[in-house]
Amino acid sequence: MKMNCGRLISGGGRMLRQLCTAATRLGQPEAKRSANDVRLYRKLSAVNMTGRTVSQTLDQYILEGHVLRKDELQRCVRELRKYRHYRNALEIMEWLKVRGTAFSATDFALHLDLVSSTKGVAAAESYFNGLPLRAKNNFVYGTLLNCYCRGLMEDKALALFENMNELSFLTSDLPFSDLMRLYMRLGKPEKVPPLIDNMKQRKISMTAPTYHIWMNSYASLNDIEGAERVFEEMKKEDADKINWLTHSNLAAIYVKAKLFEKAESALKMLEKLARPQEREAYHYLLSLYAGTGNQGEVYRVWNYLKSVPSVTDMSYLTMLQSLRRLNDIEGLAKCFEEWKSNCISYDMRLVGTVISAYLSQDLCEEALSVFEEAIKRREGKGPFAKTHETFILFYLGKRKEELAVHHLEAALSEAKDYDGWSPSLEVILAFLNFYEEKKIDGAEKLRQIFKNHNFDDHCLQVDFSADVHSE
């Protein structure tokens, strides 16, 4: 079998010859390449635990005699990005770039997105400005627009959107849906319908997610009938695009409006369209039935989900969150014990949900017991910062400053091991409000705590000089 060696990646001529020889000799069938994908992804997703960099891992992989292809690495990048391992995904892209690998338009767009996710929008702008003109197509422009919208940069997003219009790059609903999401996040749902009108004038087809945002814009304006009109238009114009997510979206609107009978009707349609292997659909069913307060349906769906082989941590997490919403503490404790008896790794998301549920019922001792067990099971290896924040908010609400500060200091001490973490805005504002009530300079007190733990207060996402009630 002849193979194009130019599509193989290496760190040098010797490695490239080694790779070409191995590929020709083995003539890898598709199944083998698939197994190779899995093996490679596992190595790359574990680099943080091995102490190696992505580059070192890839170079070693080649020296061990493995064939390494660009398409395999691209699949790894997509998987790492999917699970928010943005930094590792970016390092793969940069490793490819250093080796002179030819990038397609989608590669440039993906690289730009990863730069934004790891280094911020300013770095993404710099990357965009440094690209050759030929690389700046509608995909790359659209990715930068998405970065602006995620960063809630309305003025920059609108300016770029107009630039894309001048370049005739507004050919799909993606740029429009990005702006719609921006407006929804900014609390400006009234600006969504005019964008829909603009799309219709341009005869741009809508995808299901765009219909969903349009429905949600009316719901945010307390116009449930408007949301229902969008659904009816979707049935009339694009019935083939209606899926279980559409009914989930409609059910969520009804739940928020406390129209529980309509919500359950939509959930029945959701269940009809969902395939047995689509776990996410059943996760939505659990959450939304919990929203209606229908405990019986929550357990019915859960029992069905457990009948499907290999119940995942995400399934248990969703069920625990649903039971918390129902204030079913007894059921939550039982579900948590069931998960613990079968879990492979001790997922702190589930621990955090249980602790939050216990604290919401003032069951502080039970919450602390769960946290202490988690620390032992994980052998002291975090991340525990989010859990510390849960205790901080609880103790500040109970006016127990010493205990709240204890958990803040514990989180700050761990921060050096988890790059990118900083106290949430909710936690900072809670401290500032607490100290303001006590007539204490809260900003200065927090700065001193950060200084004691070598924590840079500039990375906090709050202006200490601002009115703490501005939120």
170, 172, 173, 174 alpha-carbon torsion, rounded to 10°: -80
Sign of the four-CA dihedral 91, 94, 96, 102:
positive
C-alpha span between 301 and 305 (Å, rounded): 6
355, 357, 362, 363 alpha-carbon torsion, rounded to 10°: -60
431, 435, 440, 441 alpha-carbon torsion, rounded to 10°: 30
C-alpha span between 319 and 301 (Å, rounded): 10
Q: Are 93 and 114 in contact (CB under 8 A)?
A: yes
C-alpha span between 315 and 304 (Å, rounded): 11
Residues in the chain: 471
3-state SS class at 69: strand
Name every residue whose Cβ is closer than 8 Å to that of residue 231 and which is 6 or more positions away in sequence.
Answer: 211, 215, 246, 250
The pair phi, psi for residue 8, each rounded to 5°, is: -95, 145
Name every residue whose Cβ is closer than 8 Å to that of residue 82 and which is 6 or more positions away in sequence.
Answer: none
For 304-326, letters b (16+ CB in 10 Å) and e give: ebeeeeebebebbbbbbbbbbbb
> What letter does residue 48 receive in the DSSP assignment?
H
C-alpha span between 205 and 53 (Å, rounded): 44
C-alpha span between 201 and 42 (Å, rounded): 48
C-alpha span between 31 and 174 (Å, rounded): 35
425 conformational bin, left if phi > 0, alpha if psi -120 to 50, beta if neither: alpha
C-alpha span between 114 and 229 (Å, rounded): 38
Name every residue whose Cβ is closer than 8 Å to that of residue 461 and which is 6 or more positions away in sequence.
Answer: 422, 425
Q: Terminus-to-terminus CA distance in the chain, angstroms? A: 64
3-state SS class at 123: helix
Q: Please give the pLDDT value at position 22.
A: 29
Q: Please give the pLDDT value at position 12.
A: 38
C-alpha span between 357 and 359 (Å, rounded): 6
Would you give per-residue pLDDT tens digits along the chain (471 residues)?
333 333 344 333 333 333 233 222 223 333 344 566 677 888 887 776 677 788 888 888 888 877 788 888 888 999 889 888 899 999 999 999 888 888 988 899 999 999 999 999 999 999 999 999 999 999 999 999 999 999 999 999 999 999 999 999 999 999 999 999 999 999 999 999 999 999 999 999 999 999 999 999 999 999 999 999 999 999 999 999 999 999 999 999 999 999 999 999 999 999 999 998 899 999 999 999 999 999 999 999 999 999 987 789 999 999 999 999 999 999 999 999 999 998 988 999 999 999 999 999 999 999 999 999 999 999 888 889 999 999 999 999 999 999 999 999 999 988 776 666 788 899 999 999 999 999 988 888 999 998 888 887 654 444 444 444 433
Q: Please give the pLDDT value at position 36.
A: 63
The pair phi, psi for residue 422, each rounded to 5°, is: -150, 155
Q: Provide the token pair at 327.
A: 């204030």
Q: Please give the pLDDT value at position 467.
A: 42
